[in-house]
Structure 1
């Protein structure tokens, strides 16, 4: 979306037309939709803008729920935006720290700023891109305490600000087809600049979950967050925003609500023992936070092999921090043998999980030549150092 397209969209005509469109259907004939809107006298630019927004609103439901139907997006802005449940977690942290006025530096389309404002925090949202800042202004318009400014994090006026939140841009500039920047010095702001705000004010920095842990400061709380088993970020919290005595945390957000493991640092692994009746796959947030040992002690479980993030136990315990599987049989990790065993059992559908083995699950599934009405889970891993296939069922 360019500036001219946005200007047309932000007119009374453009917004009325957008809100009048039926829910976006990816299977609909786009050519006929364009033709119908053009026959109504709308310009090609406006038709393109409203249909793009209708598509992005439908896509945005997965992150923003019902709010998406009243928001505007760019392709890149939606991709990089914080999911609303995660943004709400951020906002709650600022609220509990007694913060009244937050600067959201690099606000994007305003996802986190929206959560701040919804909790009645005053928020100054800053973005360097004119189109993105305009869209953030639209999305934050319902909240009187929200203000959007065009500018950079480095030059932001922090007078009267109680705390700072940053989500450094880790992709090239633009509204679509951006590419990832691997060097933290190239981010906007750079990682050093983002962490540097902590010397002035309580600061939170949102980063990708796979960041090199050596880049994370020792004097901050680092909280990995997963949503529906997918790890989406690590939040680095300084000053009053960091909880006393906590340096590592794994927050799991799922259908049953939030659950969290916390510790003063990386936890020590437990011993390796023989494979037992049940295998646990820790949530990715627990793995990233290196709290597998604490989880194992919570479950009275052992490692199945050194440096492999699977646990084993004689009992099945319900936990939000791991998925549990009953081990039915074990086999050597041999394609021909597994093909025969699965055929013998009439297993035509398998979920394949793997750790510690060099296997492409999709390619491996094809080689198994599956047929039959039954289903199972195959865990391909190392058990006591040996390549092994575990035939399992979910508990």
Structure 2
């Protein structure tokens, strides 16, 4: 809960909370003292990842955003990218840009990208306070909001995928997002909708439960599109043939070849123009490390507990895991580490390794190798036995050197 400090110094509930993103600790200290005197709490972040974690784990009413965090950078590109990610998480979030080196031109660009206002460094204390307090008053927050989990992107492969999704977000193009359970399909779909700047609310539909299509248009996110009944697939195709059609973002755990086998060809003509395939987490060690740092900070803030140390050995263990539940599984392991204060739980990867018990990665490799040998390395038959598509089996064979 945010705390308001009255004139006597006593803490009472309901103080507004702002997040100040700036890599200069002296600026952070000066700002904190300034806002404390006006009963405003302030959180600090020195860069992109820390800022997104604070936003996802804390009740933030307003952001003050510097535009450069890396030494020598003056273009403001880092801040503009962070501004976009913040507004994806919280479309209603007021962001005031604080700029010095970047100047007025880049501040204007930030306003066009969604910032509420800007202030130049060195700022005038009274003007800054008036701007912040006026913005908070206009927002009239009844209660603090908790943001959806941030989409943390570190690997080159995922960066390219997200960049393509961002490029297509402003269009009305239907698209399909594939990937294993827990890989982040819904998070990416919500990001696309947020960047689309559509005013209509998004409608989320579970395909296996769908017996009728919504009357209104807007954006429809179909979960498990492959589970949509054949009659409903035909009705959906008919709806997409209309002049004013909804935008469909279809999600599936099936890979594209298997999806093509179960979807109505006419429906696939609409949906299959763009297919975004999220790779499994075990193939993205850079994302494993970035997500680990994010979730450790997130859960330590959320639960008010110390953040466990993520050393080199622990990092190697996390990167070696197969993560069958993908981001969902990693998140659970890291929350458990924060709650218990130790990595040494019975289900933890490191203890599994030290006790000599096969890891999930070892088990999967063994199952694949056994199936291949049983079928004389006939990939089609082995894939059928394992419940995989041929491309999925080929990727796993490459991963394990089979």
**Bin for the TM-score computed over the shorter chain:** under 0.3
Greater RCO (Cα-Cα under 8 Å, separation 6 or more): 2
* TM, length-normalised to structure 2: 0.25
* TM, length-normalised to structure 1: 0.26
Greater strand fraction, Structure 1 or Structure 2: 1
